[in-house]
Structure 1
């Protein structure tokens, strides 16, 4: 298995968990929270997808799917188009009220863009420095693993919240 195939498999697994967490739920169930101040499935999936979109666009040198393809307008959230959910308050989380097809549609569009990018990578690409703001500087490999890790954690949280809300 190549690095590109490994990364593609990882992002495919994220997509599967996302669809499992969202599938069959309506907008109000997606926005439901198991406790005051907790994250909803809608917010978790939106946030993990925004982070993936932001970070992949950054390393690929492309525009984000969110703005390039009009998803920000379709979601019509009360946030700046550059917002990824980092630092959101409970009120911000509550503002993410979306249709399930819209949510998975955006995730699938980002997934497609991600797989298109990672499928073209070689091992020689992975040591490239993509962020010098850290010490040590962040390589492409580290950034991609960070995205996979963050996305899987949030997707797992969304699946857990689904279990809490649907029994």
Structure 2
């Protein structure tokens, strides 16, 4: 049996997010993507956009690269009435409603971010995961903790999107 590295585990986790995003967006109409349970809950479109934006933002920060959102022209393709750097964190009901996009656009952006995340993770050595990347927390946040945090956030949001899809 071969040894599994910490980066292999992270790769597997992000692969699961990608698969879940594919499933949740499969064959959804614009109306279903925009549906907000109870009239005010987060829509599937917003949830997938947000989880992808957060992953893009955090991985780009860790890698020291530009985000796929801007580097790949996705901000222009989405053309949302939000600041270009917006990730959805702290959005109110009106901002959530502003995130409207077709499934193919959401899926394309997510796949581009997913590929960038895979490239980044494949280039990490196990020792890189122990590097402190944010000292503003107690205890300070390591690269591994930041990546697990992004993975956890992604999994929660794609699970919420699957729930809304099932309603």
For 1:130-145, what aligned pairs fall within 5 Å after superposition? 130-145=133-148
Which position in structure 1 is the counterpart of 2:110? 107
Which position in structure 1 is the counterpart of 2:89? 86
Alignment check: 8 A CA contact 1:4 1:120 kept = no
- TM-score of the aligned structures, taking structure 2 as reference length: 0.96
State which of 11, 36, 53 in structure 2 corresponds to 1:50.
Answer: 53
Instruction: Describe the SS at the equivalent of 2:163.
Output: helix
Aligned partners of 2:84, 2:130: CA distance in 1, in Å?
A: 31
Aligned partners of 2:30, 2:95: CA distance in 1, in Å?
A: 16
Alignment check: 8 A CA contact 1:30 1:100 kept = yes
Alignment check: 8 A CA contact 1:3 1:122 kept = no
- Runs of 4+ aligned residues of structure 1 deviating over 4 Å after TM superposition are none
Which position in structure 2 is the counterpart of 1:64? 67
How many residues are treated as equivalent by the alignment? 164
Structure 1 alignment gaps of length 5 or more? none
RMSD value over aligned CA atoms?
0.8
- TM-score of the aligned structures, taking structure 1 as reference length: 0.96
Q: Does 1:150 align with 2:167?
A: no
How far is the alpha carbon of 1:28 from its aligned partner?
2.0
How far is the alpha carbon of 1:123 from its aligned partner?
1.4
How far is the alpha carbon of 1:81 from its aligned partner?
0.5
Aligned partners of 1:75, 1:110: CA distance in 2, in Å?
A: 15
